Amino acid sequence: MGLLELSANGNARLIPITIMVDGKFYDASAYKASPVPLALWGQTVYEAEKTGVSQGLFTVGEAMRVGSNNWFGEGKWRPAGSETKPKRLAAKPKNDEDEGPPKLRRPEPDTSAKPTENTSAPPATAPAPQTTAPTPSPDEKKTPSGTSPTPPASAPSTAPSDEKAPEEPVSTSANDEDPNRPVLKRGQPKTEGTIHPGASTGVLRRPTGTAASAETKQSPPQQIPAISDASGPDPRPYKYDLKADEEQKYRKGMLALAADAVRAKIKETKPVLQGGKPETPAAKSTRAAKAVQPSFDDVQFRAFDLWNTNEPVFVLSTTAHMPSSPGSEGSDVSYFVTLVAKKNIYDELRKLYSGVTDARHLDETPRLELIDAVDADGDGRGELLFKRISDVGSTWGVYRAGADQLFPLFEGTPSNQ
């Protein structure tokens, strides 16, 4: 089993978690890691399952390592339903007169257009014949005696002038008057307006300013459990559907259990002063009546049907804060609370696990972050996958929800990942 991380840009990588051999669980990042772990061998296929529903297939292509023992695999991700469909054959034309796809052709000269000017001029490829003597240059117009020669007689009106003939436009076809005809020019073409870098050329450039900070800040990758088991059971959903009023009812009950767990944790970690007087029963009852209610942030409540018996298992994760008041304990501390409870036949919540910790006690009680429900041992029943965060790093844990408590199936060695 591994954890598939899908980034917003479409990249995917797999983090190995555990591997089961002969009914025993081992750390997948260290099992037969010579030279790479067995779980990251090339062409190994994993099926990503979100709450038991298949999301797609991931094929390992290359194993990578960060640090001493932090392995992950890069490969190809294929979402569910993205299989390529066979191409359809092109339909035959209905009749033989169909011209088919458009083709680029040279335009034909328009014979119906009006006659162009200077139709009597010879083709542009051959120079016009000279009927008169060439015009002398200004220096040659003077005679040796310094007097100007007599100008020659004027040519007939029907003959074109030698000086104006080269300046008159010569048209070979009617396409020269087409304003949309292509023209070959030297240099770079000029465009109207201002072109922003990367706007029309299709070149991606790094943005600057506020836009750069907004685009650089990407959403966290999506984490989905993934299983590689050729003979395992088919995936089935583990989500337990609740009505709106039922969800509010159980959510309120889980928050009440969380408040009791936070107050018990504060009492447990409260230092005992030497020489202090023991608390009387009357003082205890008064303090219980005036119990301070903590506030909760980032409440995440989920319900699962892990054994397909219509008996929901509830998981609540939240951060608790005690109100600031003179003499209150833990008012400046954030408590991380994780609760797992099960509904019994009397519609009551039975607590299976209660974990309350803070930044100062992560060495004693790690912080548990729920990933999802997944069938880790291939028996068709779901287990709970958590990320365990301690003072020395993070690891993964797989737990089975029993009748009275959570049973750990696998708890990895913490590492700085």
Specify whether the CB–CB gap between 412 and 398 falls below 8 A. no
Q: Cβ contacts of residue 52 below 8 Å, gap of 6+?
A: 235, 236, 237, 238, 239, 373, 374, 375, 382
pLDDT (tens digit, 9 = 90+) per residue, 276-296? 455 566 555 545 445 788 999
Confidence of residue 101 (pLDDT cuts 50, 70, 90): confident
In 3D space, the residue among 64, 53, 52 whose CA is nearest the CA of residue 12 turns out to be: 64
pLDDT (tens digit, 9 = 90+) per residue, 49-82? 999 999 999 999 999 998 877 899 999 999 998 8
Dist. CA 28–CA 16, nearest whole Å: 5
Confidence of residue 356 (pLDDT cuts 50, 70, 90): very high
pTM more than 0.75:
no
**Residue 103 within a domain:** no
Q: Under DSSP, is residue 263 helix (H, G, I), strand (E, B) or coil? A: helix
**Residue 24 within a domain:** yes
Q: Cβ contacts of residue 251 below 8 Å, gap of 6+?
A: 299, 301, 316
Which residues, listed in sequence order, are joined to residue 396 by a DSSP beta bridge?
A: 387
What pLDDT shows up at residue 352? Answer: 97
Omega within 30 of 0 (cis) for the link into 169 = no
Residue ranges making up the domain that contains 61: 2-81+223-227
What pLDDT shows up at residue 326? Answer: 54
Confidence of residue 143 (pLDDT cuts 50, 70, 90): very low
CB 23: neighbour CB atoms within 10 A? Answer: 6
DSSP string of 293-317? PPEEEEEEEEEE-SSSSS--EEEEE
Number of structural domains (the chain) is 2
For residue 112, give the amino acid letter: S
User: What is the torsional sign of CA 23, 28, 32, 36?
Assistant: positive
pLDDT (tens digit, 9 = 90+) per residue, 162-183? 444 444 444 445 555 666 666 6
**Residue 356 within a domain:** yes
Average pLDDT over residues 382-398: 96
Dist. CA 244–CA 343, nearest whole Å: 17
CATH classification at residue 367: 2.40.128
**Residue 256 within a domain:** yes
Out of 200, 227, 254, pick the residue that ends a domain.
227
Dist. CA 251–CA 256, nearest whole Å: 9
Tell how far CA 163 is from the center of its chain: 73
**Residue 282 within a domain:** no
Q: What does residue 372 show for φ and ψ, rounded to 5 degrees?
A: 180, 175
What pLDDT shows up at residue 145? Answer: 44
**Residue 202 within a domain:** no
What pLDDT shows up at residue 197? Answer: 42
- DSSP tag of 214: H
DSSP string of 137-189? PTTTSS-TTSPPPPPPPPPPTTSPPTTTTTTS---SSGGGG-TTS----SSPP
**Residue 56 within a domain:** yes
What pLDDT shows up at residue 34? Answer: 87
CA angle 400, 403, 409 (to 5 degrees): 20
* Percent of the chain's residues with pLDDT above 90: 50
What pLDDT shows up at residue 158? Answer: 47
What pLDDT shows up at residue 286? Answer: 47
**Residue 238 within a domain:** no
